[in-house]
Amino acid sequence: MISSSDFFNPDYEVRRPGAAGFISLDVNTTPYTPGDQTQGNVTWNHTAGGLVQTGLDLTPLVNLTIDAQLAAYTRTSGDTLTFGRQLDVTTTGIIGAFGGTVTGLTNDVLGASAINSWASTATVGGLSLSQGVHYNVSFDVTAGAGINLNALSAANFALSSGGNPIENIDSIETLNVLNILQVGGGLATINFEFIAQSPLTELTFDFDAATIANVSLLGTVSGNQTVLQFSNMSLAPVPEASSLFLLAAGMLFQLRRHRRYA
């Protein structure tokens, strides 16, 4: 009913833009949400919070400007949803003897205390879920290489339709993905089973995560750092026990028949 290749579209990224000009160390943790993007029956809304920026303009003393930014980003790309961080250090002019200055400004943004947050909502239309039928939403979630999960304060998944929360078969509305990840050592397959209480033509999938204030516990970042990645999304009916029994019985019959004529 839903496959990864269709679900994680369109490809786009959200991160707070840096301020213009050259500033002293600035920390902005306000969530940034520029707007929805749609492809086919899927509409995504990405949010990313957490930007640390500093800069220096050494002209007219020397022809050199430095801008260092560390920003949280949320991205759909290919068949994945990624919560990550990006370090960008931009210089103009000749660095020369000021390499230490560039390194110092970079370390300033890396060492700043800033809560990072990520959220993504995917609304899928054109569905046909039948009332009373048992369904399962399944996806994989992986922590990035070297990520310390203790640096995360939360990671959650929830499902709704028309603004109404959907409970899974354990009467849980918001699934604690972080706990499952910690048990799985940074790798987990999430299953959210539910019974449709009415016919449904639309579902909304909510993913979110956040760090503690000391975001440096996430580990060293050089360029792009994946914090969490979601993939292999599927939505399908759960076979009834009777259907599974008949399938198993049929396979056993075929096996015995094959042996009889072998």
Q: What is the pLDDT of residue 245?
A: 38
Q: What is the pLDDT of residue 59?
A: 79
Q: What is the pLDDT of residue 218?
A: 74
With contact defined as beta carbons under 8 Å apart, do 223 and 69 qualify?
Answer: no
Q: What Å distances lie between residue 152 and 103, 122, 126, 199, 261, CA to CA? A: 27, 22, 35, 37, 60
Tell me, what amino acid is at 128?
S
Contacts of 174 (CB under 8 A, 6+ apart): 156, 157, 158
Q: What is the pLDDT of residue 252?
A: 46
Among 86, 104, 107, CA closest to 95: 104
pTM: 0.88
With contact defined as beta carbons under 8 Å apart, do 130 and 199 qualify?
Answer: yes
Contacts of 201 (CB under 8 A, 6+ apart): 125, 126, 127, 128, 129
Residues of the chain with pLDDT under 70: 215, 219-220, 241-262
